């Protein structure tokens, strides 16, 4: 691990990679746009609104999981610089989830407030989906450097909301499918692995920390005797 | 009026279908790269036009929908037929090699003429009718489909149901080798459905063998499928291999899978929501990205014909 840490890309490379990633994250949207306008024979199929809705939602979930994968990946590879891309990935998650909601509210419900509020109040899978979107807003808003600095430790606490958001998102997906739960189950398994890794690390830290603390204390105690 | 010279509503649009087909083939060639990515429809898309299926000799039937039918493309590529996979395009992708002949249907139960009947036995004596029906899926989308078939009643009468018969149960072929969707226990296989005898004998209830004047494509339930236009689409069991007259209400697949969401009757009803979504409105397939949903009609607009079947039934508890 120590060796790979030396492979730190320079600031120019990071910047170039960021531009590349930015464009890469737009590919799903670009493909949808081509399909919407039936470019090059692409199409959204017989039920375009449903297709658009599902694809945007799935990309929102994909980006949530990709964002959550950054920390474990960074730990496992030792590539600490990966964290430099996390904010962009998180903002893209918000972006696709927001588009997913706008497609639902605008195209599917045609901004009819009554039916939308009824859906949110009465259909649990929509309730939790909208909750996930609402919880994403403060994370997106506080993603700037100045706010990060100003909030300090509280920023970290606030951004742990992503764990809750991802669980709500996958749950929303699971609850929405008619009967075949294979795909949402795969998402749930990936999410469980990503969150489980964190829990495992946290526990390891706690146990390790205690040991370390005890030995320090005992050394100190010995000295004082 | 000479019926054979009457122009049927769906014939008017056939031009566009051939146009669609041509542009589809051209586009398929253009977007070969996209196809390779597995995102679009596969190469078997070539040849999906009415002209690729044998024409059937038909006469115009009653009950026109009074609406323009959906395109051949939409009707044959957007299907719920879980035996071939749960995605809408799966049946089209996975049913092309399905062998719909030779075919036989086992008839049993409370009737005087049980036995094994071949497809030809079943269909032979009947005059095939073109019937344009509204089709409403429980998922809140709908189509207008020009089916070819004959009244189920005419078929059932041939088996001479006895006085004990109160219901008719149907079964789909169970053949995981041909039906890849059956390799996963999404539903309990084989698919089973049922109707009350009165529903089965209703003149709207159709035994379907074709589409757009052509033989039924595999993905639409070849060679024999049921169409009950005032009920949600899942009542229209496909690729039927068994018909049984029963005394008691038969079990049905979706009711077994999720009893609180899918009942035995499954009549189209805008006033009784699915627990997870509203049934008040429906998305018409073929409408544009910016078109609104349309109101769902009680009994899918066939109230006049069928409401008398349910005068003593609470439609809210018997969903």
Least trusted range by pLDDT, from A199-213, B216-230, B281-295: A199-213
Percent of chain B with pLDDT over 90: 82
End-to-end CA distance of chain B: 42
Mutate to test the interface with A, among B289, B291, B292, B296 (most CBs of A within 10 A): B289
Q: What is the pLDDT of residue B202?
A: 98
Average of pLDDT values for A77-106?
96
Q: Which residue has the higher pLDDT, B42 or B125?
A: B125
Mean pLDDT of all residues belonging to chain A: 90
Nearest CB to A179: which of B39, B73, B257?
Answer: B257
B62 lies in some domain: yes
Q: What is the pLDDT of residue A210?
A: 54
Q: What is the dihedral of CA A199, A201, A207, A210, to 10 degrees?
A: -110
* pLDDT band, residue B238 (cuts 50/70/90): very high
Q: What is the pLDDT of residue A207?
A: 74
- Closest CA–CA distance from residue B66 to any residue of chain A (Å): 21
**DSSP for residue B60:** E
Q: Minimal Cα distance from B24: which residue of A?
A: A41
Average of pLDDT values for B290-319?
95
Q: Which domain holds residue B305?
A: 48-310
Q: What is the pLDDT of residue B150?
A: 98
B277 lies in some domain: yes
Phi, psi of B166 (to 5 degrees): -115, -20
Q: What is the pLDDT of residue B66?
A: 82
Q: What is the pLDDT of residue B171?
A: 98
Q: What is the pLDDT of residue B43?
A: 40
- Contacts of B173-181 with C-beta under 8 Å, sequence gap 24+, read B173/B83, B173/B239, B173/B240, B173/B241, B178/B97, B178/B98, B178/B99, B179/B83, B179/B84, B179/B98, B180/B84, B180/B85, B180/B94, B181/B81, B181/B82, B181/B83, B181/B84, B181/B85, B181/B86, B181/B90, B181/B94
User: Within 13 Å of residue B254, how many CA atoms lie on the same side as its CB?
Assistant: 24
Q: What is the pLDDT of residue B27?
A: 42
B107 lies in some domain: yes
Number of domains in chain B: 1
Instruction: Assess whether pLDDT exceeds 90 at residue B5.
Output: no
Instruction: Assess whether pLDDT exceeds 50 at residue A219.
Output: no
* pLDDT band, residue A214 (cuts 50/70/90): very low
> Taking an 8 Å Cβ-Cβ cutoff, which residues of chain B contact chain A?
23-24, 26-28, 30-31, 34, 39-40, 73-74, 77-78, 82, 86, 88-89, 139, 141, 184, 186-187, 257-258, 276-278, 283, 285-286, 288-290, 292-293
Instruction: Assess whether pLDDT exceeds 80 at residue B287.
Output: yes
Complex-level ipTM:
0.84
Average of pLDDT values for B101-119?
98
Average of pLDDT values for B180-206?
98
B34 lies in some domain: no
Residues of B in contact with A115 (CB under 8 A): 278
Q: Does the CB of A45 have a partner CB in chain B at under 8 Å?
A: yes
Q: What is the pLDDT of residue B115?
A: 98
Q: B109 forms bridges with which residues in the sheet? A: B245
Q: How far is CA A131 from CA A63, A143, A163, B63, in A?
A: 17, 19, 13, 46
Residues of B in contact with A41 (CB under 8 A): 23-24, 26-28, 30-31, 34, 40
Average of pLDDT values for B182-200?
97
Average of pLDDT values for A26-46?
94
CATH number at residue B134: 3.90.420.10
B242 lies in some domain: yes
Distance CA A66, CA A17 (A): 16
* pLDDT band, residue B153 (cuts 50/70/90): very high
Least trusted range by pLDDT, from B38-47, B138-147, B223-232: B38-47
Mutate to test the interface with B, among A41, A110, A116, A185 (most CBs of B within 10 A): A41
B131 lies in some domain: yes
B11 lies in some domain: no
- Which three-class secondary structure string do you get for chain A? CHHHHCCCCCHHHHHHHHHHHHHHHHHHHHHHHHHHCCHHHCCCCCCHHHHHHHHHHHHHHHHHHHHHHHHHHHHHHCCHHHHHHHHHHHHHHHHHHHHHHHHHHHHHCCCCHHHHHHHHHHCHHHHHHHHHHHHHHHHHHCCCHHHHHHHCHHHHHHHCHHHHHHHHHHHHHHHHCCCCCHHHHHHHHHHHHHHHHHHHHHHHHHHHHHHHHHHHHHHHHHHHC
For residue B55, the Cα-to-chain-centroid distance in whole angstroms is: 19
Nearest CB to A179: which of B34, B187, B288?
Answer: B187
Contact A125 B283 (CB under 8 A): no
Contact B30 A40 (CB under 8 A): yes
Instruction: Assess whether pLDDT exceeds 70 at residue B197.
Output: yes
Domain boundaries, chain A: 2-206
Query: Tens digit of pLDDT for each residue in A42-90?
Result: 999 999 999 999 999 999 999 999 999 999 999 999 999 999 999 999 9
Instruction: Assess whether pLDDT exceeds 80 at residue A212.
Output: no
Average of pLDDT values for A147-169?
96
Q: What is the pLDDT of residue B46?
A: 55
Q: Which residue has the higher pLDDT, B143 or B2?
A: B143
Contact A123 B277 (CB under 8 A): yes
Q: What is the pLDDT of residue B94?
A: 97
Q: What is the pLDDT of residue B161?
A: 98
Q: Are B31 and B43 in contact (CB under 8 A)?
A: no
């Amino acid at each position: 691990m120590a060796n790979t840490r030396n492979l730190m890309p320079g600031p120019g490379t990071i910047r170039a990679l960021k531009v590349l990633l930015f464009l890469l994250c737009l590919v799903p949207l670009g493909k949808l746009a081509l399909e919407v306008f039936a470019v090059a024979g692409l199409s959204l199929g017989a039920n375009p609104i449903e297709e658009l809705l599902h694809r945007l939602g799935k990309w929102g979930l994909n980006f949530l999981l990709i964002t959550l994968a950054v920390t474990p990946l960074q730990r496992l590879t030792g590539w600490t610089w990966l964290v430099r891309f996390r904010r962009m990935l998180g903002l893209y998650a918000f972006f696709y989830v927001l588009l997913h909601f706008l497609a639902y509210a605008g195209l599917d419900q045609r901004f009819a407030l009554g039916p939308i509020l009824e859906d949110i109040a009465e259909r649990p899978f929509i309730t939790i989906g909208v909750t996930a979107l609402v919880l994403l807003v403060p994370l997106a808003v506080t993603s700037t450097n100045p706010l990060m600095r100003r909030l300090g430790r509280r920023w970290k606490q606030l951004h742990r909301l992503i764990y809750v958001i991802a669980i709500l998102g996958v749950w929303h997906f699971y609850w929405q499918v008619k009967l075949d739960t294979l795909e949402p189950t795969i998402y749930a398994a990936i999410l469980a692995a990503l969150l489980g890794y964190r829990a495992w690390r946290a526990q390891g830290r706690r146990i390790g920390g205690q040991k370390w603390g005890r030995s320090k204390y005992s050394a100190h105690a010995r000295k004082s005797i | 009026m000479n019926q054979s010279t009457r122009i049927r509503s769906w014939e008017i649009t056939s031009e566009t279908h051939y146009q669609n087909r041509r542009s589809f083939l051209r586009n398929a060639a253009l977007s070969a790269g996209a196809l390779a990515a597995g995102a679009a429809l596969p190469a078997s898309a070539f040849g999906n036009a009415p002209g690729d299926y044998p024409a059937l000799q038909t006469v115009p039937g009653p009950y026109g929908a009074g609406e323009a039918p959906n395109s051949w493309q939409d009707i044959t590529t957007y299907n719920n037929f879980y035996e071939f996979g749960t995605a809408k395009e799966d049946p089209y992708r996975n049913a092309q090699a399905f062998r719909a002949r030779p075919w036989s249907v086992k008839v049993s139960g409370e009737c005087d003429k049980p036995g094994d009947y071949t497809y030809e036995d079943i269909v032979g004596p009947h005059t095939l009718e073109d019937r344009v029906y509204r089709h409403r899926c429980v998922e809140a989308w709908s189509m207008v489909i020009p089916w070819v078939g004959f009244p189920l009643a005419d078929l059932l009468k041939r088996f001479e149901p006895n006085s004990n018969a109160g219901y008719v149960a149907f079964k789909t072929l169970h053949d995981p080798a041909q039906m890849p969707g059956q390799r996963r226990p999404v539903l309990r296989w084989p698919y089973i459905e049922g109707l009350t005898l009165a529903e089965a004998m209703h003149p709207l209830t159709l035994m379907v063998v074709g589409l757009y004047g052509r033989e039924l494509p595999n993905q639409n339930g070849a060679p024999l499928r049921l169409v009950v236009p005032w009920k949600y689409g899942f009542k229209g069991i496909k690729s039927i291999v068994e018909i049984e007259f029963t005394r008691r209400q038969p079990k049905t697949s979706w009711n077994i899978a999720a009893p609180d969401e899918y009942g035995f009757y499954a009549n189209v009803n805008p006033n009784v929501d699915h627990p997870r979504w509203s049934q008040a409105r429906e998305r018409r397939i073929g409408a544009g990205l910016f078109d609104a949903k349309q109101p769902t009609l009680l009994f899918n607009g066939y109230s006049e014909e069928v409401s008398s079947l349910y005068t003593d039934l609470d439609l809210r508890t018997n969903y």
